[in-house]
Chains A and B, each alone.
Chain A
Amino acid sequence: NAGVTQTPKFRILKIGQSMTLQCTQDMNHNYMYWYRQDPGMGLKLIYYSVGAGITDKGEVPNGYNVSRSTTEDFPLRLELAAPSQTSVYFCASLGSSYNSPLHFGNGTRLTVT
Chain B
Amino acid sequence: AQSVTQPDIHITVSEGASLELRCNYSYGATPYLFWYVQSPGQGLQLLLKYFSGDTLVQGIKGFEAEFKRSQSSFNLRKPSVHWSDAAEYFCAVGGRAGGSYIPTFGRGTSLIVHP
Contacts and interface: CB of A to CB of B under 8 A. Distances in A.
Interface size class of B (residues with CB under 8 A): 20 to 34
Contact of A42 (B32, B100, B107): B107
B44 interface: yes
Contacts of A94: 101, 103
A102 B103 contact: yes
B105 interface: yes
Dominant secondary structure of chain A at its interface with chain B: strand
Interface in B78-102: 90, 92, 94, 98, 100-102
B56 interface: no
Nearest to A56: B100
Nearest to A109: B41
Contacts of A92: 43-44
B41 A42 contact: no
B106 A107 contact: no
A40 B107 CA distance: 6
Interface stretch (A13-21, A43-51, A64-72, A74-82): A43-51
A41 B45 CA distance: 18
Contacts of B45: 104
Contacts of A43: 44, 90, 105
Given A42-B105, A43-B90, A101 B43 contact: no
27 contacts: A31-B101, A33-B103, A40-B9, A40-B108, A42-B4, A42-B106, A42-B107, A43-B44, A45-B104, A48-B102, A90-B43, A94-B101, A94-B103, A98-B51, A98-B101, A99-B49, A99-B51, A101-B34, A101-B46, A101-B49, A102-B46, A102-B103, A104-B44, A104-B45, A106-B41, A106-B43, A107-B43
Given A42-B4, A98-B32, 6 more contacts: A31-B100, A31-B101, A50-B100, A98-B51, A104-B45, A107-B43
